[in-house]
Amino acid sequence: MLDFHLGGIGLAVLGGVIGKLAASWGIAIAVFLGIFLISLLVGFVRRAAISYTISDRRLYIRNGLLTRKEQHTTLDRVQNVEAKQTLFERLLHIGTVDFDTAASDDSVFAFVGVAAPKRVLAAVDRAVDTRKLAEDDAL
């Protein structure tokens, strides 16, 4: 989402410059604000359309508002979990949690742009521990 917002700011600046060259500062500011606000709104809707859930059995990624795409995997298929943050993401306290699953190599399962990726890792660990305790109690 960060690249989307930076692109929106760049497009708004470009629109403002074109507005100034074609007319006046008033038009330039109006064009800049219009493009910037549309960019923020579209970004908000895109972000609201994605949800990540961790249960004691599965991990879920749900995309979409009008149409829905759901991706899930069971915790026992998760082989490795990795948290990644660029320098800019560290400043914003966001990151990506990438799950290597027992599925094919072209299957990407990642929680992208989550706040506090270390807390997500801890939540997955708690879910795995809860699952193991439940399995041990069943035996």
With beta carbons less than 8 A apart as the criterion, state whether 35 and 8 touch.
yes
Give the burial class of 60: count Cβ atoms within 10 A of its Cβ; 0-12 exposed, 13-18 middle, 19 or more buried.
middle
What per-residue confidence (pLDDT) applies to 106? 57
Here the CATH number for the domain that contains residue 107 is 2.30.29
42, 70: one domain: no
Work out the percent of the chain whose per-residue pLDDT is above 70: 93
- Calpha distance 90→13 (Å, rounded): 26
40, 102: one domain: no
* Non-local CB neighbours of 88 within 8 Å, separated by 6+ positions: 2
Structural domains counted in the chain: 2
CA dihedral 116, 55, 66, 63 (to 10 degrees): 50
Which structure tokens are listed for 43? 């970004």
**In which domain, by residue range, is 66 found?**
52-138
43, 70: one domain: no
Predicted TM-score of the model (pTM): 0.70
57, 105: one domain: yes
Answer whether residue 28 shows pLDDT above 60. yes
127, 72: one domain: yes
Which structure tokens are listed for 128? 């795995």
Phi/psi of residue 71, nearest 5 degrees: -125, 135
pLDDT in tens, 58-112: 999 999 888 889 998 888 888 888 999 988 888 878 889 999 887 655 568 899 8
- Helices marked H in 87-116: 87-92
The vertex-71 CA angle with 68 and 74, nearest 5°, equals: 145
78, 132: one domain: yes
- Calpha distance 95→111 (Å, rounded): 8
62, 129: one domain: yes
39, 60: one domain: no
74, 38: one domain: no
What per-residue confidence (pLDDT) applies to 1? 61
37, 56: one domain: no
List beta partners, residue 101. 78
41, 57: one domain: no
